[in-house]
A and B are shown apart, each in its own frame.
Chain A
Amino acid sequence: MPQVTLTVNGKSASVEVEARTLLVELLRESLRLTGTHVGCDTSQCGACVVHVDGKSVKSCTMLAVQADGCSVTTIEGLAAADGTLHPMQEMFREHHALQCGFCTPGMVMSAIDLVKSNPQGLTEEEIRHGLEGNLCRCTGYHNIVKAIAAAAPLMNATPAE
Chain B
Amino acid sequence: MYDFTYQKPASLPDAVKALGTEDAKALAGGMTFIPVLKQRLNKPSVVVDLAKLGLTGITVTGDTVTIGAMTTHETVANSAEVKRAIPGLADLAANIGDKEVRHRGTIGGSLANNDPSACYPSALLALGGTVKTDRRTISADDYFQGMFTTALEPDEVITEVSFPIPQKAAYAKFRNPASRYAMVGVFVAKGPKGVRVAITGAGQNGVFRHAGLEAALAANWSADACKGVSTPADGLNSDIHASAEYRAHLIGVMAGRAVTAAG
Residues of chain A whose beta carbon lies under 8 Å from any beta carbon of chain B: 2, 18-20, 22, 41-44, 46, 49, 55-58, 61-63, 65-66, 68, 110, 113-114, 130, 132-134
Tell me the smallest distance from the CB of B203 to a CB of chain A, in Å.
Answer: 24
Contact of A61 with B104 at beta-carbon distance under 8 Å, contacts A19-B47, A44-B178 already known: yes
B180: chain A residues within 8 A (beta carbon)? 132
9 smallest beta-carbon distances between A and B, as pairs: A133-B98, A19-B6, A132-B98, A20-B1, A133-B100, A55-B103, A20-B3, A58-B100, A61-B34
Tell me the smallest distance from the CB of B110 to a CB of chain A, in Å.
Answer: 15
B35: chain A residues within 8 A (beta carbon)? 42-43, 61
Neighbour of A46 across the interface among B3, B100, B103, CB < 8 A: B100
A2: chain B residues within 8 A (beta carbon)? 6
Residues of chain B whose beta carbon lies under 8 Å from any beta carbon of chain A: 1-6, 8, 27, 30-31, 34-35, 37-38, 47, 49, 51, 74, 97-101, 103-104, 178-180
The answer to whether B99 touches A56, judged by C-beta atoms less than 8 angstroms apart, is yes
Q: Give Cα distance in the complex from A43 to B31, angstroms.
A: 8
Q: Give Cα distance in the complex from A62 to B27, angstroms.
A: 11
Neighbour of B30 across the interface among A44, A63, A68, A113, CB < 8 A: A63
The answer to whether B6 touches A113, judged by C-beta atoms less than 8 angstroms apart, is no
B97: chain A residues within 8 A (beta carbon)? 133
The answer to whether B37 touches A133, judged by C-beta atoms less than 8 angstroms apart, is no
Neighbour of A133 across the interface among B3, B38, B51, B99, CB < 8 A: B99
Q: Give Cα distance in the complex from A66 to B3, angstroms.
A: 15
The answer to whether A20 touches B2, judged by C-beta atoms less than 8 angstroms apart, is yes
B2: chain A residues within 8 A (beta carbon)? 20
A18: chain B residues within 8 A (beta carbon)? 3
The answer to whether A19 touches B4, judged by C-beta atoms less than 8 angstroms apart, is yes
A55: chain B residues within 8 A (beta carbon)? 74, 103
Tell me the smallest distance from the CB of B23 to a CB of chain A, in Å.
Answer: 14
Q: Give Cα distance in the complex from A130 to B101, angstroms.
A: 12
B34: chain A residues within 8 A (beta carbon)? 22, 43, 61-63
Contact of A20 with B4 at beta-carbon distance under 8 Å, contacts A57-B104, A61-B34, A63-B34 already known: yes
Tell me the smallest distance from the CB of B3 to a CB of chain A, in Å.
Answer: 5
Q: Give Cα distance in the complex from A57 to B37, angstroms.
A: 18
Tell me the smallest distance from the CB of B89 to a CB of chain A, in Å.
Answer: 19
A68: chain B residues within 8 A (beta carbon)? 8
Other A-B pairs beyond A20-B4, A44-B178, A133-B100, 19, CB < 8 Å: A2-B6, A42-B38, A43-B31, A43-B34, A43-B35, A55-B103, A57-B100, A58-B101, A61-B31, A61-B104, A62-B104, A63-B27, A63-B34, A66-B49, A110-B99, A114-B99, A130-B99, A132-B180, A133-B98
Contact of A46 with B98 at beta-carbon distance under 8 Å, contacts A2-B6, A20-B3, A63-B34 already known: yes
Tell me the smallest distance from the CB of A147 to a CB of chain B, in Å.
Answer: 17
Q: Give Cα distance in the complex from A130 to B5, angstroms.
A: 36
B8: chain A residues within 8 A (beta carbon)? 65, 68
A114: chain B residues within 8 A (beta carbon)? 99
Tell me the smallest distance from the CB of B96 to a CB of chain A, in Å.
Answer: 11
Q: Give Cα distance in the complex from A65 to B37, angstroms.
A: 15
Tell me the smallest distance from the CB of A1 to a CB of chain B, in Å.
Answer: 9
Q: Give Cα distance in the complex from A65 to B5, angstroms.
A: 11
Q: Give the residue name and chain of the A residue nearest to B103 (CB).
A: A55
Q: Give the residue name and chain of the A residue nearest to B1 (CB).
A: A20
Report 23 cross-chain contacts, Cβ distance below 8 Å, ordered by A residue: A19-B6, A20-B2, A20-B3, A20-B37, A43-B34, A44-B178, A46-B100, A55-B74, A56-B100, A56-B103, A57-B100, A57-B103, A63-B27, A63-B30, A63-B47, A65-B8, A65-B49, A113-B99, A132-B98, A132-B99, A132-B180, A133-B98, A133-B100
Chain B CB within 10 A, most for which of A2, A66, A113: A66
Q: Give Cα distance in the complex from A49 to B100, angstroms.
A: 8
